[in-house]
Amino acid sequence: MGPPPAPTGLPPEFALIARHFLPLAGEGALALSDDAALLAPPPGRHLVLAADAMVEGVHYLPDDPPDTVGRKLLRVNLSDLAAMGAEPLAYLMTTAIPRGTPAAWLEGFAAGLAEDQRRFGLHVLGGDTVAIPGPACLSLTILGTVPPGAALRRAGARPGDDLWVSGTIGDGALGLAVLQGRLPPGADPGGHLAGRYRLPEPRLALGVALRGLARAAMDVSDGLVQDLGHLCRAGGLAATLDLAALPLSPPAAALVAADPSWLPRLATGGDDYELLFAAAPDDRARVEALSRATGTAVTPIGRFTEGAPAVTVLGRDGGRITPAQGGWSHF
Amino acid sequence: MGPPPAPTGLPPEFALIARHFLPLAGEGALALSDDAALLAPPPGRHLVLAADAMVEGVHYLPDDPPDTVGRKLLRVNLSDLAAMGAEPLAYLMTTAIPRGTPAAWLEGFAAGLAEDQRRFGLHVLGGDTVAIPGPACLSLTILGTVPPGAALRRAGARPGDDLWVSGTIGDGALGLAVLQGRLPPGADPGGHLAGRYRLPEPRLALGVALRGLARAAMDVSDGLVQDLGHLCRAGGLAATLDLAALPLSPPAAALVAADPSWLPRLATGGDDYELLFAAAPDDRARVEALSRATGTAVTPIGRFTEGAPAVTVLGRDGGRITPAQGGWSHF
């Protein structure tokens, strides 16, 4: 007889993966049970690929609801696809999480991913789950597709082009301030600002609609002024940003009305995940029609000009101002 | 006149990326200066995608040379491509590193990546660099290609098939033991074991050569016994593993000769990154010819059998043994 066969039971991470992540897997994932995923590229399309990581306590707060952490991880990556005019296809994800992470946290995290997968039409292809003796570190690689030659790029703005932005600016940074107690809870009566910090809205429909119309585009994630600087450098031209034109949500507008010094801070705060793009002045009506068609507000907030790459920021009175910083820096 | 235009200078992570990671970028990466990469899929090929993360102090030691950390990060992912019989194409990488990480560390890390990019023929498409208030967390998503239908899979072994493994088993686990002081330095005279822990060898040429020949394959990363269990479950059959046949390096063989209790531990230790595969007994000569052609040692170490998925481990005397654990677990 001898002893029984050696245990082939699986270690706990396999149960974790099977319970929480396997339901997220789709075509090509091979049920997450091979060494890699296998994907037939969609015919006649080019692939668009981006990877963004989120660290607990840096990109999200330890007590953020886990479903919004999962959704934000997916959405910040979807926002990169939107900026390229791409449509979502699939993603891979690595999660480095502390031992002892409650199953309820993972359940919420996966439920948030599941909800947004359905909403945005993509699925998990693969990934890795490991333990980390420190803050959770979540990394996602997203795949999207575009017709060949149709991707939006950062280079391409021309002097005289209008500068447009989608949605509203500054809500994410204000939401973080509320959640960190740097603003009183009364500053965010309906929780709109906190919601915008936790759950950005990737402007995918607008990105697709802007193919062939926007001459340059990117997503605003690290602060409007700093990110506009990227468009200037990529295109080899300057830009003027008119803060008086900045689209603000009602709570953001109320804060600025009470203390105008908020305005430049909103333009440098980060966590907006809105599309910033250039279009010819002759195309203003077309841009506005696409805005209506996609249900996405857009606002002209400045203009590109001849000159060395630089951003001129005009305050509410039309005078030049110099924000203390251009945007977010990790280091 | 007014104040000067607002600063459009870049925060420090852009200098870091430009200095260390931009030289790694290749076709489709758009010089890492757009929101995403843009890739025309290679015509007539399917994509193979995998993602593996490494955490400082978990997957590598804080004082490992940074060039080997970069190379190991790439190689553990390349090993997943090898297991599928795929050829490398490109990768995306997110690095979450502590503030104050020395430039020399990043320089070494990137130099290691550059060296292995050249060796294995792939390049960076994109990624993200962020700060983490904890151990470094490095995540890589790799893309490879295979002809349609040619990928090696974990399912497919048949009763009677030989079980093969490439290279040698146990060196990585022993190398870690040496580096952690659990084995005396004299156990690793030439540094072979430590080198195998720090720098696994992805068996890419063998993986490609095994297309159409291996009936099932995977890479051994979490311990031979545990990983063989995966092949059994995927194929719905049992396997017998003959430890007396295990291919050992000279320092591993010397340790086993001095203390036979090492043998089962080598079969469960992890960090091997060798290919484990099934082939028909009639194909033994073909497998050996491919081994010679690719310069990769292969050894038959057991057999697949009818039965419920389970691994029977035979010790040096031919009797059944039960290892204390099947392999590595994170949680």
CB contact under 8 A, A36 and B49: yes
Residue at B165: amino acid letter: V
CB contact under 8 A, B331 and A99: yes
Contact present, B270 and B327 (Cβ < 8 Å): yes
Predicted local distance difference test score (pLDDT) of residue A9 = 55
Cα B190 from chain centroid (whole Å): 23
Q: What radius of gyration, in Å, describes the C-alpha atoms of chain B?
A: 22
In chain A, the percentage of residues whose pLDDT exceeds 90 is 89
Q: What is the pLDDT of residues B245-289, one digit of tens each?
A: 999 999 999 999 999 999 999 999 999 999 999 999 999 999 999
- The span from the CA of A243 to the CA of A208, in Å, is 27
CB contact under 8 A, B226 and A51: no
Tokens (6 digits) for B220: 């051994």
Cα B188 from chain centroid (whole Å): 22
* Residue finishing a domain among A88, A121, A146: A146
Is the domain of B25 the same as that of B125? yes
Buried b (16+ CB within 10 A) or exposed e, A8-28: bebbebbebbeebbbebbeeb
Is the domain of B222 the same as that of B285? yes
Is the domain of A20 the same as that of A85? yes
The answer to whether position A107 is within a domain reads: yes
Is the domain of B67 the same as that of B170? no
Alpha carbon separation from A287 to A156, A204, A246, B6, B178 (Å, rounded)? 17, 15, 17, 28, 64
Measure in Å the smallest separation between the Cα of A51 and chain B Cα atoms: 5
Q: Which of A228, A226, A237, A214 is nearest to A298 (CA)?
A: A214
The answer to whether position B300 is within a domain reads: yes
CATH of the domain at B126: 3.30.1330.10
CA nearest to B322 within chain A: A6
Residues counted in chain A: 331
Tokens (6 digits) for A50: 């981006």
Alpha carbon separation from A132 to A26, A287, B64, B288, B299 (Å, rounded)? 27, 46, 18, 41, 35
Measure in Å the smallest separation between the Cα of A175 and chain B Cα atoms: 21
Is the domain of B115 the same as that of B260? no
Q: What is the pLDDT of residues A191-207, one digit of tens each?
A: 999 999 999 999 999 99
* CB count in 10 Å sphere of residue A121: 12
The answer to whether position B50 is within a domain reads: yes
CB contact under 8 A, B36 and A48: yes
The answer to whether position B174 is within a domain reads: yes
Is the domain of B92 the same as that of B173? no
Contact present, B304 and B238 (Cβ < 8 Å): yes
CB contact under 8 A, B154 and A35: yes
**Which spans in chain A are helix H?**
12-16, 66-83, 103-120, 171-179, 192-198, 204-209, 224-235, 250-258, 262-266, 284-294
A-chain residues near B224 (CB < 8 A): none
Is the domain of B168 the same as that of B316? yes
Q: Which of A328, A55, A66 is nearest to A198 (CA)?
A: A66
The answer to whether position A155 is within a domain reads: no
Q: Which of A242, A251, A80 is nearest to A171 (CA)?
A: A251
Predicted local distance difference test score (pLDDT) of residue A8 = 43
Is the domain of B71 the same as that of B139? yes
- Give the H/E segment covering residue A146: strand A137-146
- The span from the CA of B54 to the CA of B121, in Å, is 22
Least CB-CB distance to B49: which of A125, A310, A321? Answer: A125
CATH of the domain at A220: 3.90.650.10
Pairing label, strands B274-279, B162-166: antiparallel
Measure in Å the smallest separation between the Cα of A224 and chain B Cα atoms: 11
Residue B35 marked in a binding site? yes
- By CB atoms closer than 10 A (0-12, 13-18, 19+), residue B105 is middle
Is the domain of B117 the same as that of B192? no
The answer to whether position A9 is within a domain reads: no
Instruction: Give me the domain span that covers residue A61.
Output: 14-29+43-146
CB contact under 8 A, B11 and A96: no
Predicted local distance difference test score (pLDDT) of residue B10 = 65
The answer to whether position A2 is within a domain reads: no
Over residues A277-282, mean pLDDT: 98
Q: What angle do CA B236, B238, B242 make, to 5 degrees?
A: 150
The answer to whether position A248 is within a domain reads: yes
Residue at B172: amino acid letter: G
A-chain residues near B233 (CB < 8 A): 8
Tokens (6 digits) for A288: 């506005």
Q: State how many domains chain B has.
A: 2
User: Hey, CA dihedral for B25, A330, A129, B166, is it positive or negative?
Assistant: positive
Q: Which of B162, B295, B298 is nearest to B241 (CA)?
A: B162
- The span from the CA of B241 to the CA of B246, in Å, is 9
A-chain residues near B226 (CB < 8 A): 8, 10-11
Q: Which of A330, A314, B16 is nearest to A322 (CA)?
A: A314
What lies within 8 Å, CB to CB, of A4 at 6+ separation is B322
Question: How is the beta sheet containing A87-97 ordered, strand by strand?
Answer: A123-131, A87-97, A137-146, A46-55, B37-39
A2: pLDDT strictly greater than 50: no
DSSP A182: S
Over residues A63-85, mean pLDDT: 98
Is the domain of B66 the same as that of B140? yes
Count contacts between A and B (CB, < 8 Å).
Answer: 313
Low-confidence ranges of chain B (pLDDT < 50): 1-8
* Residue finishing a domain among B93, B119, B146: B146
Q: Quick one: pLDDT band at residue A185, thresholds 50, 70, 90?
A: confident
Q: What is the pLDDT of residues B108-126, one digit of tens each?
A: 999 999 999 999 999 999 9
CA nearest to A239 within chain B: B5
Measure in Å the smallest separation between the Cα of A186 and chain B Cα atoms: 31
Is the domain of B168 the same as that of B283? yes
Buried b (16+ CB within 10 A) or exposed e, B224-247: bbbbbbbbbbbbebbbbbbbeebb
Contact present, A50 and B32 (Cβ < 8 Å): no
Predicted local distance difference test score (pLDDT) of residue B9 = 55
State the first-to-last Cα distance of chain A, in angstroms, to the nearest integer. 63
A-chain residues near B2 (CB < 8 A): 319-320
CA nearest to B52 within chain A: A128
- The span from the CA of A57 to the CA of A179, in Å, is 12
Residue found under tokens 């740097």: A182
Is the domain of A79 the same as that of A211? no
* Residue finishing a domain among B115, B146, B177: B146
Q: Which of B206, B209, B196 is nearest to B165 (CA)?
A: B206
